[in-house]
Amino acid sequence: MASSLQIDVSFWPDDQFRAIEPWLYGLHARSAIARGRRWQALMMLDGVRDQTIALACVRHGLNPHHGRDADKLPSELLDELMRARANTTDDHELRRANKRSVEALVREIARHDEALAQRLARPAEALAL
């Protein structure tokens, strides 16, 4: 994970195959930004934020599915996530949003499992470049 190189090998029925892990969103966001695929980057950044919201909902005993209880989360967290959103598709803005989104996800992971967050710190730094 230090280089963020990833190889996925799995067998799924083709109608059920999809990327479902939060780090995949971060990895794809970084790659999309590097390749100039701005709208894909925006969508992947939204995925990172959605995972952060879902984790926060679980922590607060709220429904984590599809943002159903996201509005009940503390305003400080929602404000942080709002500031992490990209305001344009400019490369600099996408990189800023990527860094803040990944950092917010790591902070939320730490609220659940500090040891896991520490293990993910270096890979997260690579994703936030």
Number of domains in the chain: 1
Residue 13 lies in a domain: no
Model confidence pLDDT, tens digit, residues 37-59: 999 999 999 999 999 999 999 99
Model confidence pLDDT, tens digit, residues 73-123: 999 999 999 999 999 999 999 999 999 999 999 999 999 999 999 998 998
- The total of other beta-carbon atoms located within 10 Å of residue 68's CB is 11
Residue 42 lies in a domain: yes
Q: Is the pLDDT of residue 9 over 80?
A: no
Most confident of 5-14, 24-33, 37-46: 37-46
Say which CATH number the domain at 28 has.
1.20.120.330
- Structural domain containing residue 83: 22-127
Q: State the pTM of this model.
A: 0.81
Residue 11 lies in a domain: no
Residue 16 lies in a domain: no
Q: In three state form, how does the secondary structure of 90-123 look?
A: CHHHHHHHHHHHHHHHHHHHHHHCHHHHHHHHHH
Q: Is the pLDDT of residue 7 over 90?
A: no
What is the pLDDT confidence band of residue 23, given thresholds at 50, 70 and 90?
confident
Give the chain as a DSSP string: -TT----------TTT----SHHHHHHHHHHHHHTT-HHHHHHHHHHHHHHHHHHHHHHTT---GGGTTGGGS-HHHHHHHHHHS-SSS-HHHHHHHHHHHHHHHHHHHHHH-HHHHHHHHHHHHHHT-
